[in-house]
Amino acid sequence: MKKTIEVINELQKEGIIRKYAVGGGIAAIIYIEPVLTYDLDILYIPEKEEKGLIDISPIYKFCEEKGYKFEREHIIINEIPVQFIPVYNKLVQEAVEQSVEVEYQNISINALKPEYSIAIMIQTFRQKDKERIIKFLEQTKTDQNLLQNILKKYDLEEKYNRFIDSSNE
């Protein structure tokens, strides 16, 4: 993992991506008990602001020049499948902008704050998200004020409250 994160940090240093944050299952295991995950999700803000389709070819070109292989939507970096996901809405953009540097397995990485992870999971609301939300709430020290502010800002309060109510039944 360490060498993979070093490559991602190099993408940022080279100006190919402006800022990134680890998301998905790997972000979850920073804060909660390990969960099954196949890949490393990197949510990122492209260096150049673009309208419409985002050109991810600079990431692929950089990785191809380094000799990394491609498998479907993943770039295999030091044997770890990495999926680069450009920010796709305002919540995810804010989550990446507000990401924090954390120490994980002796390396510093940018990770989503738990409150933003929960809000994104409420927004996407897949079955695995529902399970992870419960774990986040049980196993992390979540800033409830921050979480409520995020949920309110992105009109997710009602969905969150219905989920919490149904989870407590």
What residues of the chain score a pLDDT lower than 70?
A: 34, 36, 50
The residues with which 20 forms a beta bridge, in sequence order, are 44
The domain ranges of the chain are 2-167
pTM confidence score: 0.90
**CATH class entry, domain 2-167:** alpha beta
Mean of per-residue pLDDT scores for the chain: 92
pLDDT digits (tens, 9 = 90+) for 103-131: 877 888 999 999 999 999 999 999 989 99
Please report the beta strands in 47-167, taking only residues with DSSP state E, as ranges in sequence order: 69-71, 74-77, 80-86, 100-104, 107-111
Please report the sign of the dihedral spanned by the C-alpha atoms of residue 89, residue 86, residue 93, residue 122: positive
Which 3 state secondary structure label does DSSP give 126?
A: coil
